[in-house]
Amino acid sequence: MTNRYYTDTGDPFENNEKQKDLDYIQKNIIDAFNHGDFGDFQTEELMNVTNGDIKNYLTLLKDDRIIDIDHLNSTSIEDEEEMVDFCDYLGATVCNSPLQTKMDVHFLESNDFAIAVSVLQTGFKGVTLKIDPLEDIPEFLKKKWIDIVDEQEKMTDFTYLKNQFGLKK
């Protein structure tokens, strides 16, 4: 049975279309984890979800253990040069207002595999999305993932030291 996730807009048709896009994302993530780097990963245009919807949905999938992942980390692309590289990676262009443009990468990690879900908000509703194994993403995105992991290790080390010296909250 499919888990339903959507914000009730008062329009059952709109809710159903959003759910179809989210189900598509879930299926492709499951395929990526099941088939590793042997899948056919391509860029998709989804017209009924936003970047925020996807981030919330990925959190739901992790928290409810719908997809067996150990870590979910996200980062935004804000550097102008990286934005250009990100659009190039997705094969997309940004024609709309910079206020609507949101670029995020979500890193999902299991104990033996990791994927990146790259999302470019292309309008008020609608995204360009690509799911790839971590080893297939561009170097600037790998660096962002490494920075996240390094920061988490620092936090873990600091927490260990606080606990060791009796300074826990």
- Does the residue 157 lie in any domain? no
- What per-residue confidence (pLDDT) applies to 97? 56
- Does the residue 160 lie in any domain? no
pLDDT tens for 16-64 read: 899 999 999 999 999 898 887 665 678 899 999 999 999 999 999 999 8
- Indicate the pLDDT class of residue 73, thresholds 50, 70 and 90: very high
- C-alpha to C-alpha distance for 40 and 12, rounded to whole angstroms: 32
The DSSP letter of residue 2 is: P
- What per-residue confidence (pLDDT) applies to 1? 41
Encoding tokens for residue 43?
A: 């860029």
- Indicate the pLDDT class of residue 153, thresholds 50, 70 and 90: confident
- Name beta bridge partners: 71: 109
Range(s) of the domain holding residue 40? 12-137
- Does the residue 72 lie in any domain? yes
- Does the residue 144 lie in any domain? no
- What per-residue confidence (pLDDT) applies to 52? 92
pLDDT at 100 over 80: no
- Does the residue 155 lie in any domain? no
- Does the residue 165 lie in any domain? no
Mean pLDDT (the chain, rounded):
84
Q: How many domains does the chain have?
A: 1
Quote the Cα angle for 12-13-15, to 5°. Answer: 65
Report the predicted TM-score, pTM, of the whole model to 2 decimal places. Answer: 0.85
- Does the residue 31 lie in any domain? yes
- What per-residue confidence (pLDDT) applies to 106? 97
* Pair 120, 86: CB distance under 8 Å: yes
Q: Residue 155 in 3-state DSSP?
A: helix
- Does the residue 52 lie in any domain? yes
